[in-house]
Structure 1
C-alpha cells in the first residue's frame, strides 16, 4: 500500500485547497520565509518519491498514469490524490526550527530540555545546563521550573548572588504566584544565615499557595533551628489544616514529642506518618531511633527491618541499622549489614568509612587502610573519610601521616563543620606531641567555626590544666556554659532526626548516642564510628585514660572482641530472613558479599544487581494487516 501512494515521476499540478482562492496581493503578503520553507520541503519530497519510483521500476502503467487510477473504488482514488499533495514527514529536533524562526517551540521541548539539564548537572556539565535553562526561560518566562533549576544550579557552584537574582527574576515573571520559587529562595537565605529574610520569603510562599506543604515544613524547620518550638508547632498545625495529612509533617511533630519524652504521642504520630506513606524509609528510621532512645531495642530492630523493606537500596537504612547492631554487640551482623549497604550503594564513601573503623577495632589496621583508601578514591572531597583515616594513623603512632591526612581534609573546605572537627582532632594530636602553642591555635580555630562544641571547649580546658593553669581552665569551662545558657531551646536532637529526610550522616551519630551523657567523661560512643566525630570525640579531656585505639567504646568496642566475633549473624528473636530478602529483592548472594567488596573498583564500580538483571522479554509482534 505504501508503494502505491508514491507520487509519479512527473510532479502533478498543485491543487488549491477548497474555498475561494486568495487574490494575488494577499498571497504576496504571506510570510515569505514560511511559504518558501514548506514549498521547498514539498519539492524535495516529490523529487525523492519520483526517484524512488524510477529506481524500483516505477509504479507507472498505461502511459504514465498513476497506479491509483487503475484501482477500483473511490476510496483508493481519494488516497492517491492525498498522496500527491501531502509531503513526506521530516521531523525537526528540539524545536530548533521554530526557535530559529522566532516562534515558541512545542511544550514538549520544555520537558525535554529540563530533562537534559538534569543529565548535564549529574555529569557536572554546568555551562551546558545553564545554556539550556536560559533557553527555557526565554521561550517560557511564565513557567517557574527553569528558574528553580537555574537557581539550584548556581547554588551548587556557590554563585549565591546569581541564584538570588534568578529567583527574584522568576518571582517577577510569574507575578509572585509560584510558591516553589519563593520556597527555594527562602531555603537559600536560610542557609546563608539571613533568618529574617528567610521568614519573609517562606511567608510569601504560603501566601502564594496555602497548600504548598514544603513551604510550611521548611519554615517550621527554620523555627526549630532557631529554638522557637512553639512557633514551629503552630506552623506544622497550619500545614495539616491547609494541606491535610503528610508524612513529613507527622514525622516532625513526632520528633518534637519524642524530644519532650512523650513517647506514646510520638508513636501515634509515627503511625500516622507511616500510614500516609508506607514506603517512607525516613519515617521508619526516625521511629526506630526513638524506640532506641526509649530502650525498646526489640521494637527498634523490627522498625529497621521495615525500613529496609520499604527502601531496599537506601544507604542510610543499612548504615544506621549496622550501627545499632554494633552498639548491641552484634559485630558480625553489623559487618554484614555494612557490606550489603556497600553492595547496593557502591558509590557511597560513608559506608566504607564505617566498615573501615569496624575492621580497625576488630580486625587490623591494614584492612582498615584498604577500605579508607577505597572510600577516598570514591569521593576525594568527602572530608570525614580523611579525618577518620588520620585519627586511625595517629592511634597507630603515625603522627606525620595523620597530619598529612588532616591537611588534606582541610584543603577540601576549611570553614564548615567538618573542618571544625578536623582542627579539634589535629589540636589533640599536637597536644599529645607536646606542641602546646600549635594545639591552642588549632583549638581556637575550631571554636571560631563551631562555638557550641562541648568536646573542643573541654579539650582546651584539659590542656590548660595539664599546663598547670587551673584558673584559666575554669574560665574556659565558664565560657562554654555561658554559651549553652544563651541557647533558648537547643533543637539539635530534633534536627538530627529531621536531617535523615535530607540525609546527613552527621546527625545519625548524634541519634545513636542520645541516651548517654554528653560530657567529656563518656566520649567513646557509637557516634565515634560515623563520619568524622570518631576522631574528635575520642580526643577529649579524658583521653589520657585511653591506652589503645579501641578502648572504652560502647559501640564498636573491643571489650569482648573474641566473644563478639563468634556471634551468629542472625539475631535471635527476629523472624526476618535477611539472606532471603537480599536474594529476592536485591539479587545478591550472601556468600559473595566479601568478593563484591574486594572486587569493587572505586573508579568504575557497577552495581552487582545491574549485572544480574534478567534480560527484558521482547515485546510481542503485532499482526500485520
Structure 2
C-alpha cells in the first residue's frame, strides 16, 4: 500500500533556482567546486553575483539590499528593515528619553568620581612635592618686616656666572676735556667785585625777557613794611569802638604756623562732598544725620562759622533729634552750648542724653539735678546719686528712686549695698516682692548672707556655719520661686552667674548656685560626663571655685568613682592648699579603699611635706586595705630606701616576694641589691626569678647588664640570647644585645642582630634608629644615610627617624627637610623639639621658646625635651625662665627618652632626684 506522506528529501533532486548562489545566505560569496565545473573553470563574475543578490532581495520582499546605509536605523521616521512595519509612538519616544537620561546620569556619576580621584591625586602630589613658591612663602611674608636700613645694607650681587669679564669695561680710560678741568678749578673761587650795573642800582637786579630789571632788595623791604603795618594794626594802634585789642605778635605767628594747608586733591574731595551733602539736605531736610555730616565736613575743612551755621539750620529743621542738638553743643563754646541745650530741652525734654550733656556743662552740683523733668530715668538717678558726697544723702535718694522706679534691679541693689546688713535684708525682701522674676535679687541676698558670715572675724564658728547654710537655702528657694513664676534660666546661664559670683569674691554663693542648678537639664546617664566637662571648662577659664563646687556635687552623687576623686585631688594639688588636698585624699581613700593610686597619692603628698611617719602610717593603712598590692609594697620600699632605712627596705622586699610574688617585685629586688653593691645576691634573685617568670624580659636585661659591667661578655651574650628566645618581640633586648656586640668590637655581628630583629619586628623605628647609630659609630656616614633612607621608607611617620634625617642634611637644607617631617608627623614631640633646635641655631629666640613649649605640651614624659629646653634657656634665657623649666619638669616627672633613660638608670646616679637628672642630661646633650 503506497504511503501518502510527502517526501522531505525530494527537494534534493529538484533543480536549483536560477538566482541561487551557494553560501550566499550566510554571507559568503558564491563558489563552485571542481566537480561542478571541471578543471580550470572560472567562477561567476561580479555582475552575476550582484544581479543574483538583487533578484533574491526582490523575491523576499525586502525592498532594499545590503548596500543600504547604516543611518537608516538612526532615523525612526524613515526606518525600514526588520522593524519597518512598527510605529514610532509616544511610548517609544519616552523610553528613548529615559534611556538617554540614565546614560547621562551614569556619565555624570562617573565624572564626579573621576574628578574627585583626579583632585585627590593632584593634592597628594602637591603635598609631597610642593612648588618652590610654596616652600618660600613664609620667607616672602617675612620680607614685609624688613626695614629700609636692612634693605640698604644688602650687598650687591657679584658675578656668579664664572665667566671672564671683559677687560675693556674696567680698564678703559678716557681723556678729560680741558673745559671740565678749568670749570672745576673755578668752582672754589669767589668773586670779590660787583657788577657795574649792580653797583649803580644798589642791589641785585635780574634782567627779564622784556628787558626790565627786578630789584629784589626793594621787594623784600616792601614785604617787611606791610607785615609790620599789619602787626601794628592788630597790636592796638587801631581803635575799635574806643577800645584797644592786645594781640601778641609772636603768638599770632605761631598760630599761623599751626594752620594745616590742604592739598589740591583734598580740596577737590571736600568740594565734591559738600555738593553731595547740599543735595542731601535739600532733598530731605528732615534727615538729621545729613545735617550732622555736613557740619562735620565744614569743621574738617576749617570753616567753623559755616559748620555752626549748617548745624543751626539742622536744628531748625530737625528739632526732635537729640543727636543734632548734642552735635550743635559740641561745635560751640561752653556758654553758647548751655543756651543751645536749654533750647533743646524745650523740644526734647524727655531726652536723658540732653540732660546729661547739660549737667556736664554746669559747675555747680545743685545745677546738675534734672530729675524733676525725667523722674523715670534710671540713668539720671544713678548720675544724681554719684554726685552726692554723703552716704546718707545717697541712701535717701536711692530710697526715693526705688519708690519712683520699683522695677529697677540696679537701684534696689545699690540701695542694699548702702544699708546695714539688717536693713539690707529688708530692702532685698521689698525688692523680691516688687520683682518676683528677678534672679539677681536672690543672688544678692545670698551674697549678703555670705558677707555677713565673714564680716566679723570673732564670730563663733557655729553662727558662721549657720549663715553659710542660709546661703544654700536662699539660693534653693530662689530657684524654686523663679520656676514657679515661669522664669526658666538655662543651666549655662546659672553657671555663668556662679562664675560671676566667684569672680566678685563670693565663693560660697557660687557653690550654692552650683548645688542648686548643676543637675538641671541633664540626662541621668550623661550626668558624670557632663559634670566632668563643666569642671574642666571652669578650670580652663580660671574659675577654680566653680570647678571645685561641680566636682564636690558630682562626688556626692558618685562617691565610688576613683577617677572622679583623682581629678578632684589633682585640682586641689594645682590650685588648693596642702590642707584641702589632704582632706580630699582622706575622703577619697575612705570611699574607695581599693584604689591604690589614691593611697599612693596621699602617701606621696605626706612624704613631700616632710612628714615621713605620716607617710608610713598611710601606707600601713593601705596594706590593710590591699594586702597583695604590688604598687603599695614597692612604694613602701622606696620610702624606706630613700630615707636611709636600707635594712627595712630589704626586709620589706623579702616579705613582698613572699606575699605578692610578682615579676616586678622580683625585678625591683634585684635592682635594689645591685644599687647597693650586692651583685651576687642580685644574680641569685635573678636566677630564682627567671625560673618563676621566664617570659619577663627585664630580668634578662638586668642579668645581661650585670655581666656586661663585669666584662663577662660570653655570659652576658648568653643572657641576652636566652631573653631573645623567650621574648622575641622585645625591642630593648635586641638593642642591648647589639650594643654588647658593638662594645666587644664586633660591629658586623651587631648589624646582623639588628637585621634579624627587623625581620622579626618589622616597621619599628627604634631598631632602625639603632642601626643608623651603629653605622655612624663605625664611621660609615654614607652607609648610615642609606640605612636611614630605608628606615624612612618602612616607618614614614617616625619622629625619631625624621629627626635623624634632618640633622644628617647640610645646614642650608635642614629647614626644607623639617617641613617634610612636620607634614609626615605633625604632632610628634621629637620633631617639634628638633624644629625648636633649628630655630635656636638660627638665633630666633622667641620662636625656639614657643616650639619648646609646644613640644613639652605634646608629651611631658620625654626627658630629653626638657633637657634641651633647659640648655636653651641657660644660653639665651633669664634666671626666671630657667627656674620655670626646672619647676615644670619636676612636676611632670619624665621617665622616657634615650639619653634620659641611660642617665637615670645608670648605677652612678641611683637615688638622684628629677632635678639632678635634668641637670646631668642637659650637660650630656650635644
Q: TM-score, normalised by structure 2?
A: 0.29
Q: TM-score, normalised by structure 1?
A: 0.40
Q: Pick the structure with more helix per residue.
A: 2
